[in-house]
Amino acid sequence: MRFASLGSGSAGNGLIIEQSSTRLLLDCGFGLKDTLYRLARLGLQANDIAGILVTHEHDDHTNGVFKLANKYRIPVWLTYGTYVMSQKLIPKDQGFELHIIDSHQPFNIGDLHIQPYPVPHDAREPVQYVFKNGRHKLGVLTDVGTTTPHIEAILNACDSLVLECNHDLDMLRNGPYIRSLKQRVGSRLGHLDNESAASLLGKLDNRKLQHIVAAHLSEKNNQPALVNAALSRTLNCEEHWIGIASQAEGFDWREIK
């Protein structure tokens, strides 16, 4: 199994997960032209994508989902709540399959086994996902305000983990956002801060962990150096071992062996 990012942050998100001939796109917050460019950077074309999974309806995750799906006839999987909130984005001449999922019920797409799980976030029915190939486990957690025992159980013993480190608490508190936005970001339905992400990481069994990539960093309320420091302290590893998903370039392919 391998995975790569098209980009990660408030201006757009997209993650590719590949197992054998199955390639899935998790979210697509970029315009169609930009998405095709970002796919090409990873050596992919839109026709290589077997399916698109959606976490929730916010624009930085859905802006390009239905345009891409409709143009290239790519099936889409999402919760009913996300579907309801995304209907304005679905073309009237819909030419792709749309699958409504249960937020607790696993399913298969090609060579990948997928476990969705609900998360606290200010969306209608948000989920995140774990991907398995029979031997390895890739966990993804972004757009979550706080952790829960269920999240900890789902993400335990991952071989690789993409983990939200949205903001530094001091930078958010003293930063340029208006008060209401600061409260939203920092709430239990907002986004995970560096120390909370590190605390979650410390509760997991990380003995098999091959890759850890911090994602969804705020451009105004965080810095990669702060993320590296927080996560490396928890894992007792070198700071450079912590990967960072950038807004402009995401990150290149990482293989789980």
Write out the chain's pLDDT in tens, 257 residues.
999 999 999 999 999 999 999 999 999 999 999 999 999 999 999 999 999 999 999 999 999 999 999 999 999 999 999 999 999 999 999 999 999 999 999 999 999 999 999 999 999 999 999 999 999 999 999 999 999 999 999 999 999 999 999 999 999 999 999 999 999 999 999 999 999 999 999 999 999 999 999 999 999 999 999 999 999 999 999 999 999 999 999 999 999 99
Per-residue pLDDT at 133: 98
Q: Alpha-carbon distance 44 to 48, whole Å?
A: 6
CB within 8 Å of 243: residues ≥ 6 apart: 211, 212, 213, 214, 251, 254
Residue 69 host element (H or E): helix 65-72
Q: Would you kindly state where each structural domain of the chain is located, as residue ranges?
A: 2-250
Please, which residues bridge with residue 15 across strands?
5, 26
Q: Which of the 8 DSSP states describes residue 204? A: S
Exposed/middle/buried for residue 149 (C-beta within 10 Å: 0-12, 13-18, 19+):
exposed
Residue with tokens 């009913």: 80
Q: Where do we find the tokens 């579907």?
A: 83
* CATH number belonging to domain 2-250: 3.60.15.10
Which stretches of 102-193 are DSSP H helices? 149-155, 169-174, 179-186
Helix (H) or strand (E) holding 83: helix 80-86
Six-digit token pair at 5?
Answer: 């990012």
What is the pTM for the complete model shown? 0.97
- Residue 189 pLDDT: 98
